[in-house]
Amino acid sequence: MRGRQYSSDGKLPERELHELIDLLALRIYRDLGRRAYALSRQDVAELVRPYTNDLVREDQRMIPWLVWDLLQEGMEIELAVR
């Protein structure tokens, strides 16, 4: 990913990390719809693994959790609107 060019430790810069998390959560929701809310963190980790294989281990561990958390926030917002 482009972010490595700007990071001395190989981790994605925070802005690019958040962009990636947003895109992955949107893709999962687009593909699964409301079923995405029922995914476990492990399920999310398996779904995002192909998109994070080239990242440093710390980012690989953090991204699934943050994507899962974003999906849970989306569920809370959707339920509050009803």
As a whole number of angstroms, the distance between CA 24 and CA 50 comes to 11
Query: What per-residue confidence (pLDDT) applies to 4?
Result: 45
**For the whole model, what pTM was predicted?**
0.86
**Can you give the pLDDT at residue 82?**
73
Q: Domain tally for the chain? A: 1
First-to-final CA distance of the chain: 39
Quote the pLDDT of residue 8. 60
pLDDT of residue 2: 43
Contact between 54 and 2 (Cβ < 8 Å): no
Q: What kind and span of H or E run contains 48?
A: helix 41-52
3-61: per-residue pLDDT in tens? 444 556 789 999 999 999 999 999 999 999 999 999 999 999 999 999 999 999 999 99
Q: How many other CB atoms are there within 10 angstroms of residue 1's CB atom? A: 15
User: Residue 65 is part of which domain span?
Assistant: 2-81
